[in-house]
Chain A
Amino acid sequence: MGAQLRVYKRRIKSITATKKITKAMEMISASRIVKAQRKVAASTPYATELTRAVTAVATGSNTTHPLTTEKDNPARAAVLLLTSDRGLAGGYSANAIKAADQLSERLRGEGKEVDTYIVGRKGVAYYGFRERKIADSWTGFTDRPDYADAKRVAAPLIEAVVKDTAEGGVDELHIVFTEFVSMMTQTPVQNRMLPLSIDEKAEESGSKGEILPLFEFEPSAEDVLDALLPRYVESRIYNALLQAAASEHAARRRAMKSATDNAGELVNDLSRLANAARQAEITQEISEIVGGSAALADAAGSDR
């Protein structure tokens, strides 16, 4: 076998092996999207009921709570950024990071300090490489988050919101994550979680026209709010984590699908080149044989 043909064969073999891997990753991601979507759906009743309850308390009582009142001049904001632990998901993490950068830029423009909290190894690596400050980070669960993870993420954030700004607390809480719109579309979104704005909540629960009844609070409106708002933040973070996980799988599926397609194309092209090389080799061999025998015949003729 000629040297060139051998090179082609080797490349085809290696690309076929890569293609098998990307194909497997594509199928794994495809099955996980469905699971992640089911989890999002399963967490929805809790989120809607909780949102209803928060709306009820916020509209039905005149209590002021650090988590609902907007400060006159907010000095510090926390940004929670959700990225993935692993790569090979196309622009998934990069897009989320870009969105967070834009948001931080805007907040800084408004004269606020920005504390960044990061979920996912990719985001941590990005900030670490650029030597930017990270207030806190969590890794290891982005592809399959559960409620305990959301609680773990929420705890220091709630603590920071409750704390006084002078002592290192924050006045606002923003979250940047990738919303799962459809299998083909996932868009990074920036949401302000705290302080809550009433209109937003009414819109979320889809109950703009609904008149909420006057509630009796057990034990008291303040206590209910105290207990309710951390849960609300946790549930919002949980929902964001689940959506981000679904988006991550969808992004990875798409990236791996195009990788598989590309590998297929490459294999096709290379096989054609390999065939041409083989054909050229054969042609060359034939012409060598023909030339050789012609030379022999000539030599025999001149001897006579």
Chain B
Amino acid sequence: MAAELHVELVAADRSVWSGEATLVIARTTSGDIGVMPGHQPLLGVLESGPVTIRTSDGGTVVAAVHGGFLSFADNKLSLLAEIAELADEIDTQRAERALERAKSDSDAAAERRADVRLRAVSAH
């Protein structure tokens, strides 16, 4: 059995996902980073973007994360985000509508949020 790391994906107001994983890919401010079991203790700033978690049973969990942190120590990875949603929870049509609306209102923050959601769904 491959080595595992414990992942906690936590949003400000709830715990989104937790479980065992073999690889977690997230986007930090200095580029994408992949964390595997036994990684050096790490603290990073996350960019808005999809986070991909390869679970130990071979599945993949994708979540849209809007700003936050990741910290890894003792084989435990914590992903902290102000807003985090699993790809399954995202309503694609709603996100598309939001993207349209954000584009027409030229609301950069909303546009990025909707874009991240859609990317998370398509990566799923």
Known: A218-B30, A219-B28. A45 touches B10 (CB 8 A): yes
Known: A218-B28, A223-B29. A49 touches B12 (CB 8 A): no
Stretch at the interface among A2-10, A79-87, A125-133, A224-232: A224-232
* A212: chain B residues within 8 A (beta carbon): 73
List A residues 208-267 near B (Cβ within 8 Å).
212-219, 223-224, 227-228, 231, 234-235, 238
Contact A43 B13 (CB under 8 A): yes
Tell me which of B8, B10, B12, B30 contacts A147 (CB under 8 A): B12
Any chain A CB within 8 A of the CB of B107? Answer: no
Contact A147 B82 (CB under 8 A): yes
* A50: chain B residues within 8 A (beta carbon): 69, 80
Contact B73 A235 (CB under 8 A): no
Any chain B CB within 8 A of the CB of A288? Answer: no
Contact A217 B43 (CB under 8 A): yes
Measured CA separation A287–B13 after assembly (Å)? 75
Which residue of the partner chain A has the closest CB to B11?
Answer: A46
Stretch at the interface among A51-59, A88-96, A115-123, A157-165: A51-59
Any chain A CB within 8 A of the CB of B71? Answer: yes
Tell me which of A56, A216, A224 contacts B45 (CB under 8 A): A224
Per-position contact with A for B29-69: 1 when CB-CB < 8 Å, else 0? 11001000000111111000000000000000000000011
Contact A216 B82 (CB under 8 A): no
Measured CA separation A146–B11 after assembly (Å)? 12
List 27 A–B pairs whose Cβ atoms lie within 8 Å, in order of A's numbering.
A39-B13, A42-B15, A43-B12, A43-B13, A45-B8, A45-B15, A46-B11, A46-B80, A49-B10, A49-B71, A49-B78, A49-B80, A53-B80, A56-B71, A147-B12, A215-B41, A216-B42, A217-B42, A218-B44, A219-B30, A219-B44, A219-B45, A223-B29, A224-B43, A227-B45, A231-B68, A231-B69
